[in-house]
Amino acid sequence: MTPTLSICIVVRNAARDLALTLASLDRQLVWLSRLPAEVVVVDGDSGDASPRVATDWAGRCGLSVRLLRQPPRGIYPAMNHAWIRAQGEWLLFINAGDLLLDASSLAAALAAANASNHSSIQFEAAVFLPGASRGLWIPGRYPACHQALVYRRHLHRLCGPYDERLSICADRLFDEQIRPHGRLLHPNLLSATQVSPANASRDPGRLRRDLTTMRDLGLSFTLGSPPWLTLLVLRVEHWLGISVSVWLRLGLLQLLGSARQVSLG
């Protein structure tokens, strides 16, 4: 049976994180089986137990699983390899370490998008510290992260692949390129993503290089704050070892009643 949704996971030397991500899919198997969904895992030639974790899970999960390996050339070559090999009409990228929290509304959301001719669906997402059992979620906020974005695979034929000249900004750039093709906002908490200065996406050096590359190529996307301020905050957070800006804002919103705690298990 041709899958409706392909859930794509990229991993390199992150066996523990991958196990957590796959365990979150286990808790959603009833809904994923009904779609049906397939899982595409692209391993960047890991030297740890990541391939074994993926293989063991594939043998018992009951879903169609594609296990792919390629040389470690970065996250966007791996993501491009995933969608090229995927069979589903719709794509969802969840990296190793991120969690799928609630797939119960996926079928209805995909049906609604098909009926209204939307090409992507933006869900809501929570954030959490590595190792935490609970995360924080702001209802009504639609974060620009691929962990909460489901989109039609054919958009890559229209807008191209993830730009492999970039190291951390290509997903945000692709997100802005596909928005004009019609986006449905769905008020369901779909996923949770780790937030830590150790994340490649919060590396100030990589961000600075990507901003320079985009400037030279005539590309741009909205950061949400001036680039110099974003880079300064990320440098401070790397020095402190905690994403202070994120947790101060979320803590304040929680005190004001705008943010809620959510279980990750």
Please name the residues in contact with 257: beta carbons below 8 A apart, sequence gap of 6 or more.
Answer: none
Mean pLDDT in residue range 104-128 = 95
Is pLDDT of 1 > 80? no
Map residue 200 onto helix, strand or coil. helix
pTM, to two decimals: 0.94
Query: Using one digit for the tens of pLDDT, what is the confidence trace for 244-265?
Result: 888 788 788 888 888 889 999 8
Map residue 67 onto helix, strand or coil. strand
Map residue 163 onto helix, strand or coil. coil
Query: What is the token pair recorded at 150?
Result: 């489901």
Query: Using one digit for the tens of pLDDT, what is the confidence trace for 147-205?
Result: 999 999 999 999 999 999 999 999 999 999 999 999 999 999 999 999 887 888 889 99
Give the pLDDT of residue 16: 95
Give the pLDDT of residue 201: 85
The domains of the chain are located at 5-196
Contact status, residue 65 vs residue 7, Cβ threshold 8 Å: no
Mean pLDDT in residue range 80-92 = 97
Is pLDDT of 222 > 80? no
Q: At what angle do helices 227-240 and 204-217 cross, to 10 degrees?
A: 160
Q: Which of 252 and 85 is assigned the larger pLDDT? A: 85
Q: What are phi and psi of 263, to 5 degrees?
A: -70, 140
Q: H or E segment at 207?
A: helix 204-217
Is pLDDT of 238 > 90? no
Mean pLDDT in residue range 220-239 = 84
Q: What is the CATH number of domain 5-196?
A: 3.90.550.10
Number of neighbours of residue 19 by Cβ within 10 angstroms:
18
Is pLDDT of 91 > 90? yes
Give the pLDDT of residue 265: 83
